[in-house]
Every structure is written in C-alpha cells, then in structure tokens.
Amino acid sequence: MLWPAFGDDPEGRNMTGDELKALRKRKGLSRRALASLAGLHPDTVKYWEGKPQVDMRGHAPDLLFKALGVGQLSQKHVYPAWRNLGNFRTPTRARDGVLLNIPTQGPLGPWKKCGAKTRKGTACRAKALPGKARCRFHGGLSTGPRTDQGRRRIAEAQRTRWRAFRVCELT
C-alpha cells in the first residue's frame, strides 16, 4: 500500500498533499526535478503538496503521477456515476416525479462585454451592467440629475432622508 488514505477510500481516489510529498521523496526527487520531469513549474508541485486533498482528476496531478511512475493512480477523465442521492437519484425521478424532466434553456453564453472604444483605441472588455449596454466606466451608472426638475426632486429626497436620520439620532 502506497499510503494510508488509499486503503480508506473505497474508490481509491483520495490522497493528501503530504502523501504526494512523501511519494516524491521516496523516489528521491526534488520539487524542481519532479516539475522538470512532469513539464510543470516547481510552484505547481509545491501547490499540490500543500493541498489537504489532491484532486486525482486534475491535469497537473495526472502529469505528476505519470512522472513519479504511478500513472495508474490518475483519475483524469474518470467521473463518479450517479449515486443513490435519495429523492434526487435521477432528474426524472426527483421527488417522486413531482419535478418533471422538461428541457430548459440554459445561459445564452458569456456575459455581454461593454465594447466601448477606449482611449487606447481598443474595445472595452469589461462586463456590461445587468440590463445595460455599457460598463460602469462607459455610461452604465447614473451621473446625476440633468434637469432643474430632477435636481429639485433629488434635493427633496435627500432632505427627507436627512430628516429621518436626525429623528433616529435623537431617539
């Protein structure tokens, strides 16, 4: 047995960063040497050795396991099957058939970009505000009232808020 956690997990998919470090040291490799063999940066090795649990399906751990000669431990592209999750075993049987399996429209793609021409001459890549076409830097947020009527309305609302605040302060 390579490490204690391997025997504890019925699916054999658990490994801690300390166990990965012990395996590296058992092979007599430094972080830099292992990173070179795996084609990774030494900080990547340090990152995974510092994790409380190594993701056995990850790309970097897959390369590390192959470099250490234990490629069979990699779980890359292996995903758990449906488990018995009570009422949520399958989408069609969720909550005893109360939730129907109706196809729904998912997100329509990435968030809309602002696209305004910047000083540099390129399109702005910031996300547009919800319900708006531009980001907060290019006209997405209000710049205040523009008419005299709007200014009076805002001033009155501000006075009302101040009055309410002063009443709360005194009580």
pLDDT tens by residue, 96-149? 555 555 566 666 556 788 899 999 999 999 988 887 888 888 886 777 888 999
pLDDT at 124: 93
SS (H, E, C) 50-94: CCCCCCCCCHHHHHHHHHHCCHHHCCCCCCCCCCCCHHHCCHHHH
pLDDT at 102: 57
Residue 50 has pLDDT above 90, yes or no: yes
- SS3 at position 21: helix
107-111, 159-163, 166-170: the lowest-pLDDT one: 107-111
pLDDT at 11: 47
Residue 33 has pLDDT above 90, yes or no: yes
Q: What is the CA radius of gyration of the chain?
A: 29
Which numeric CATH code is attached to 4-73? 1.10.260.40
* Average pLDDT score over residue span 17-24: 92
Cα–Cα dist 106/109, whole Å: 9
pLDDT at 100: 53
Whose CA is closest to 15, among 24, 27, 3? Answer: 3
pLDDT at 2: 47
CA 54 to chain centre: 17
Cα–Cα dist 114/123, whole Å: 8
DSSP state of 43: H
pLDDT at 169: 76
Predicted TM-score of the model (pTM): 0.43
pLDDT at 112: 84
The burial class, CB within 10 Å (0-12 / 13-18 / 19+), for 73 is buried
Residue boundaries of the structural domains of the chain: 4-73
* Percent of the chain whose pLDDT exceeds 90: 36
